[in-house]
Chains A and B, each alone.
Chain A
Amino acid sequence: MAVIYSLTNFNGVEGDWVGFENFARFPKDRMLLRSIGNVIKLLVGNLLTGVVPPFLAAQLLFRLRSQRAGNFFRTSFLVPTLVPVISVIMTWRFIYHYRHGLINSVLKDIGLELLVHDWLGSIDTALISLIFVGFPWINAASMLILLAALLDIPKELTDAYVLDSNSNLTRMLKLDIPYIVGALRLVIVLSVIGTLQGLNFQLAMTGGGPAGATMVPAYHMYGMAFFSSNYGYASAIGVTLFALTMLLTIMTKRYLRSGFEYEPD
């Protein structure tokens, strides 16, 4: 149905069929173009923070000898996920706050007043601040998925590797990563889908940012639909977003296919 709407100029009350005119508006919509640029940066940033830290944390947990310590850490890391997302966002809004925020207050207290910044309000820092939220970025769910995959690696392979090379780093790179490609792929896809569709940050934190610095296609669509009542155009954006998400998901599945299977002898 959304596809149908995208071909009209429905405004909630009446609409005429306008064909692809909505889509043709895309290049002329400067806010949309900005949002595309932003979302690309967000994709890269969120991909890094959404995959690497959980992977490292999963590795650390995996190498722990004591089962009880492992359980303890595992459950503990889950606790911060229970805080509702809006509360987290609002808390980070506080951290970034210009007058009373944590970062600026600490900077003032230790004498680095020169570095004080309007993190969310300046065009150059706004987007990066969004990516930075959630430090240290250990999403418990992703970490658990990766940990489960690590535990699936046959022990004989791990032992063989330990005997051959003494370095933990090579072992991690050469053995673990190829073997858990499936789980990695899942985490990557989740991150991509989440970023493309995310508009919570914009809604609750920046409203699109200082002069569109944090505008994102999903939020632009939201604005078009519910502030401008331009449901047709909004649907057009939605449809395109959907097609893009599908495309990226399929591409990821294709390029990150497990290249080989270990044969247990």
Chain B
Amino acid sequence: MPSVSTSTASKTNLIKDWRIKWVRLQVWHYLSLTILLLLSFGPLILLFIDAGKTTKQFESHPWSLTTPYHWSNYWRMLVGMRRYILNSSIVSIVAIPLALSLASYSSYIFARFKFQGKEFLFNLIIFLMMIPFVLYLVPQYLLVLNLGLMNTLWALIFPYAAGGAVFGVFLIRPFMASLSEELFEAARLDGASDWQVFYSIALPLCRPILATLMILLLLGQWNDLIWPSVTITDKDLYTVTLGVFSLGQQVYGGGSGRPPWGMMFAAFIISSLPLLLTFILARKAFLKGLSSGALKF
């Protein structure tokens, strides 16, 4: 019947139209995302291009690729910045385990035991965390000053560890609380002490969230410019951020002679390497940690 055939034909056309539209939409999505990705990487590509230049090459061609590409810039900057990288690493290597252990143990206690004033204490910690650093910048500075820790790496380590511990409790406690109690009961029945229950059972189960915490703290500490800028004045104790900053000041501040543009850009790239390395190594743990929390993807 004519009406049937027409309707079938029009139905097929409808599906075809819809298919074409769907494919076009997907192509549009891919294109936009790729463009956005390229734009996001733009400054990085720029850095890479400019890192291999001498000052003369830079001044004549600020943004296009020039030959010869001076790989030696990277090497020289690596040597020059090695002190800074060492300092930042020392601070993080000491501060982060400190923060992690404090946070995990405190979270364990908060999550699994009942004692008077528990909720109040926990809310207090949350409140402390919400105080922006603008408020405790000055008091913390004066505290460090009075403790005689100014201009030492300890001035960085202690506040980082303390802040990290507080933030850590916030992250870890919900995780700890969600662990099944039966596991611990079983362990206790077998004669495990509290410490053993914590160390051998609860802690390993928290690995994803601990990894997440570690990465967040690492990122925060390595990126920090403000706090080191007020506590460290000794050039040998500069962190990576201060090092990059002082290098930049030399170039932008106009000083005498020809500013080392190419090497400055190489220094920027070198400064990203430690974090990049850590991210590659910890990527799996990090993504797993994110997906076990409230953020799922």
Residues of A within 8 A of B (CB): 1-2, 5, 12, 57, 60-61, 63-65, 69, 73-80, 82-88, 90-95, 97, 100-102, 105-106, 135-136, 138, 144-145, 147-148, 151-152, 168, 193, 196-197, 199-200, 203-204, 218, 221-222, 225-226, 231, 234-235, 237-239, 241-242, 245-246
Contacts and interface: CB of A to CB of B under 8 A. Distances in A.
Interface string B17-38: 0000000011001101100110
Given A64-B33, A87-B271, A94-B50, 13 more contacts: A2-B138, A5-B139, A80-B44, A83-B275, A86-B223, A90-B268, A97-B252, A148-B296, A151-B296, A203-B225, A222-B226, A242-B131, A245-B132
B119 interface: no
B297 A57 contact: no
Contacts of B252: 90, 93, 97
Contacts of B204: none
14 contacts: A5-B142, A75-B283, A80-B43, A84-B241, A84-B272, A86-B225, A86-B248, A90-B268, A91-B265, A94-B46, A196-B132, A200-B225, A221-B137, A225-B141
A91 B226 contact: no
B223 A225 contact: no
A95 B42 CA distance: 11
A91 B223 CA distance: 15
Interface stretch (B55-63, B67-75, B187-195): B55-63
Contacts of A222: 137, 226
Nearest to B278: A82
Interface in B231-284: 240-241, 244-245, 248, 252, 261, 264-265, 268-269, 271-272, 275-276, 279, 283
B46 A231 contact: no
B147 interface: no
A102 B63 contact: yes
Contact of A100 (B62, B223, B240): B62
Contacts of A74: 297
Given A136-B36, A144-B295, A241-B135, A91 B43 contact: yes
A171 B230 CA distance: 50
Task: State the 4 A-B residue pairs at the shortest beta-carbon distance, nearest first.
Answer: A87-B268, A1-B139, A148-B295, A90-B248
B284 to A, nearest CB: 11
A39 to B, nearest CB: 12
A86 B248 CA distance: 9
B67 to A, nearest CB: 18
Interface of B: 25-26, 29-30, 32-33, 36-37, 39-44, 46-47, 50, 58-59, 62-63, 130-139, 141-142, 145, 222-223, 225-226, 229-230, 240-241, 244-245, 248, 252, 261, 264-265, 268-269, 271-272, 275-276, 279, 283, 290, 295-297
A93 B248 contact: yes
A91 B133 CA distance: 26
A73 to B, nearest CB: 5
Contact of B268 (A83, A138, A235): A83
Nearest to B55: A100
B63 A84 contact: no
Contacts of B29: 60, 63-64
A155 to B, nearest CB: 14
A84 B296 CA distance: 26
B25 A193 contact: no
**Interface residues of chain A: helix, strand, loop or mixed (majority):** helix
A64 B241 contact: no
A65 B32 contact: no
A19 B250 CA distance: 43
A76 B37 contact: yes
Contacts of B58: 100
Contacts of A144: 290, 295, 297
B297 A147 contact: yes
A237 B134 CA distance: 9
Contacts of A93: 248, 252
B63 A105 contact: yes
Nearest to B216: A141
B226 to A, nearest CB: 7
B26 A64 contact: yes
A97 B43 CA distance: 14
Nearest to A152: B296
Most buried by A among B46, B145, B226, B245: B226
Contacts of A97: 252
A226 B130 CA distance: 24
B139 A203 contact: no
B132 A231 contact: no
Contact of B244 (A86, A200, A235): A86
Contacts of A76: 37
B132 A69 contact: no
A86 B241 contact: yes
A250 to B, nearest CB: 11
